Structure 1
C-alpha cells in the first residue's frame, strides 16, 4: 500500500506487474508511432479497436496476456494513466486500490524525520504497537497488564505516550526547549493535529520532534521490560534534542533548506 493511502510504500508484486504490462495496452490503444505497434495493427488488430478485439485461439502467449488485461483495467483507466503523454504505471496502480488518501501522511512521512522514527510514528497513529492492551486482545497471557515504566495504570497507546508520568516530564522538557507547547497532550487531540497535514517549515520541525519523542519513549518502555531499568526524563529529552539537532544540521547541509536557518541559528546558540 502506498504511504499516501496509509501503508508503508510496499506494492503488491502481481498487481504492480499488471500495471507495468498495461503500458503496452496503452501504446496499442493510442496507436503510438513505433514499429511494434504497426506490426500489431497489421497482424492482429487489422483496423479493429483494441477494446473491441476478439481474441483468437492461435494468438501468441504474450498477446493473450495483454488482451486478458482488459479484464483487469478498463480502457478509461489505462488512458487516464497516460494523459500527460507518458504512461504512469503508478497512477494506474494507485487508482486500482480504491483507497482514500490519509490526512496524516505529511506529518508521519516528513522528509526531515528519521525513517525509523517515521515508521514508529506510523505504528503509533494506527495503534499497531504491541502494548499490553493490544497483547491482551490477542489472548496472550501476561504477567501484568500495567505500564512497565510506572506500573500504576493499564498500558495503552494513550497512557504510554501521554498519561504516563515519565512521558509528561519528557514532553515538558521538550516543550521548554522548543519554547512553546508544540502539540496536544491527549491522544485524540494529538491525532487531530497530525491529520491537519501541514507541510510548512515549523510543522516539519514539530513533526520531527514528535516522532523522535515517540521513538525514545517506546525504546525506554522496552528497556524497562528487557533490561529492568528506566532512564530519567531529562536523559531521554536530551537524547531527543541531540537527535533532532544532528538531523536538522544534516538535512540543511545536504539540501540547504533556507526556511530552517532561523531554527538552526537558535540551535547553534544552545
Structure 2
C-alpha cells in the first residue's frame, strides 16, 4: 500500500479511535466525495453533474474516432464495440439513465436495453450476497444489514440508504431465478450480467428477415438501410407530404405516381429497370413484389443464399441512395450505371469475405459472380 496515495475515511468513529488509526497507519484523513479509478464515491444519490465524467469520456471517444464521418452502420459499430464498455463499467456500480433497443433477431439493432442492463449489472451484487461471495462489501452488508436473516425474504428498513433499498428491489426481479437455482455455481451456471439481462428483459417475436438483413456477406451500410426498410420507416415523399414537410408527394425517380415504400421498391419503373439489370447480369430473376420471396424460394448453398441476400440488400440501399440524390440535385443516373456501381461494390465485399476452404460448387458460383 502506498502511503502517499492512500487516505483513511471514517464514518461514526470516535475521534480517539480515529486518531489512533491515523497514527498507526500514517495515512491522511480524507473526505467525501472522492474518485477511485475514475468512479465517484459518495454517500448520496448521484446527480446529473456527477455523471458528467462518463458523458465526457463518451464524447472524447467519438471525437477521437471521427464519428461525424461515419455512416449510420459505422456509428452502430462504434456504440456496440467501444462506448458500451464505458457504460457497463459504470452501470455495475451506479444506476444510470437509459434508452431501449432489441436484439437483431427480434427486429432491433443488437444494442442493449440500458435500463435492463443496469438492473442486470446491479443483479451481480445481489448474486454475490446470495452466494455469500468472499468480498469485503458482501461481508459488510451481511454484518450491518442482513445479519442472521434470510436474503431471499429480507426487507430493508426505511431508514437505510436509497441505494441499498434499490438493490433489494432489483433482487426481487431475479428472485425466481435464484429460487430455481438457475445460476448456482456448483451447477456450473454462475451469474453473469449477460445472463441476468437476458432473463429479465422483455422478449419480442422473432422476425423472419433477420438472416437476410444481417448475414455476413452484407455491407454494413446496406444492412442498416435494409433494416429501416423492413420496419417501413423511410421518409418517402408521401410521408413527408402527410407531415406537411413537402409540398409534393410524387416519386423522385419516375415522377409518375405517389412515392410510397411499395411504389418506390416494387412498382416504380426506374427501380424495376435497376433490379432487372442486376438480375440479368448475375443470371438470377430477382422479385419485384416481395423481396423476401427470393429468400424463401432459393435452394442454393449457404454461401449462394448469402450473396443473393447481399445483392437484394444492395438494391434496396442503392435505390434509396439514388432516390435521395435525385431529390437534391434533380438528376437521375441511368439504371445500368446504378447496377454496375452496385455489383462493383458487392464484388469487393465478396473478395474480402471469401476463403480458400469452400466447396467446388460454391467456388464456381463466386467465380461467376466476380466475373460479371
With the length of structure 2 as denominator, give the TM-score of the two structures: 0.62
Q: 1:267 to 1:200 in 2, by over 3 A?
A: closer
- Which deviates more, 2-11 or 114-123? 2-11
Aligned twin of 1:167: 271
**Are 1:4 and 1:102, in contact at CA under 8 Å, matched by a contact in 2?**
yes
CA RMSD of aligned residues (A): 2.9
Aligned twin of 2:226: 121
SS of the counterpart of 1:7? coil
Q: Which has the larger radius of gyration?
A: 2
C-alpha displacement of 1:101 = 2.3
**Are 2:105 and 2:206, in contact at CA under 8 Å, matched by a contact in 1?**
yes
Distance 2:330 2:165 in 1: 62
**Are 1:125 and 1:191, in contact at CA under 8 Å, matched by a contact in 2?**
no
Aligned twin of 2:321: 219
Which of 124, 128, 149 is the matching residue for 1:48? 149
For 1:1-270, what aligned pairs fall within 5 Å after superposition?
A: 1=101, 2-29=103-130, 31=131, 33-36=133-136, 37=138, 40-57=141-158, 59=160, 62-71=163-172, 73-77=173-177, 82=183, 85-94=189-198, 95-138=200-243, 140-182=244-286, 184-186=287-289, 189-191=290-292, 200-252=302-354, 258=358, 261-270=363-372
SS of the counterpart of 2:330? coil
Q: How many residues align?
A: 261
- Which deviates more, 80-89 or 104-113? 80-89
**Are 1:81 and 1:89, in contact at CA under 8 Å, matched by a contact in 2?**
no
**Are 1:20 and 1:89, in contact at CA under 8 Å, matched by a contact in 2?**
yes
Distance 1:21 1:216 in 2: 44
Distance 1:235 1:77 in 2: 58
Q: Which has the higher contact order (CA 8 A, sep 6+)?
A: 1
| Long gaps (5+) in structure 2 | 1-100
SS of the counterpart of 1:190? coil
Distance 1:65 1:212 in 2: 48
- Which deviates more, 141-150 or 157-166? 141-150
Distance 1:170 1:41 in 2: 69
C-alpha displacement of 1:152 = 0.9
SS of the counterpart of 2:257? coil
C-alpha displacement of 1:215 = 0.8
> Residue deviations 1:152-190, cap 9 Å, x none?
1111111111111111111112112222224x310xx33
Distance 1:195 1:6 in 2: 18
**Are 1:120 and 1:214, in contact at CA under 8 Å, matched by a contact in 2?**
yes
Q: 1:136 to 1:35 in 2, by over 3 A?
A: same
**Are 2:251 and 2:258, in contact at CA under 8 Å, matched by a contact in 1?**
yes
